[in-house]
Amino acid sequence: MPTEETLVLVKPDGVARGLTGAILARIEAKGYALVDIRLVEPDRELLEQHYAEHAGKPFFEPLVEFMLSGPSVAIRLAGNRVIEGFRSLAGTTDPTTAAPGTIRGDFGRDWGLKVQQNLVHGSDSPESAQRELALWF
């Protein structure tokens, strides 16, 4: 079976707070391979496609606006079970309750905004990964 790939994003809050290096260090220490990495300033169309599953939800527009607020670092990451493994490294969606030891649990908090800022994105399935990698790379 070919090695699995996933899309990881260091989102605008992670880049703006200077946490890109700390996040990359955790990914590298875990042993996954960086296949490609680039700084991206996405447009609205890319983001609406990326987050299409959330269209119509109350946080959708704040989410797109947040993602437009600055560059993200897009990473093509590879390794066996990397989709599941990166989501485990990231922690659960809500940074207030994400486990300590995870990226979101250690670096995230609730800022009282309409959208949760939780530093990173990771694809949630092989189908999502292929779809999202084609959008960002």
Which residues are part of the catalytic machinery? 121
Q: How many residues does the chain have?
A: 137
The closest alpha carbon to 23, from 41, 38, 11, 35, belongs to 11
Q: Which residues bind ligand DAT (CB under 6 A)?
A: 59, 63, 93, 115-116, 118, 121, 124
Phi/psi of residue 25, nearest 5 degrees = -60, -40
Q: How far is the CB of 24 from ligand DAT (least distance, A)?
A: 18
Instruction: Confirm whether residue 80 is marked as ligand binding.
Output: no
For ligand DAT, give the closer residue by CB, 2 or 67.
Answer: 67
Which of 76, 104 has the CB closer to ligand DAT? Answer: 104
Residue 30 known to bind ligand: no
87 annotated as a binding-site residue: yes
* DSSP of 23-80: HHHHHHHHT-EEEEEEEE---HHHHHHHTGGGTTSTTHHHHHHHHHSS-EEEEEEEST
Nearer to ligand DAT, 78 or 115 (CB): 115
Least separation in angstroms between residue 21's CB and ligand DAT is: 21
- Taking the C-alpha atoms of residue 127 and residue 130, their distance in angstroms, rounded to an integer, is 5
Question: 114 among the known binding-site residues?
Answer: no
CB of residue 95 to ligand DAT, shortest distance in Å: 9
**Binding-site sequence positions:** 11, 59, 87, 93, 104, 118
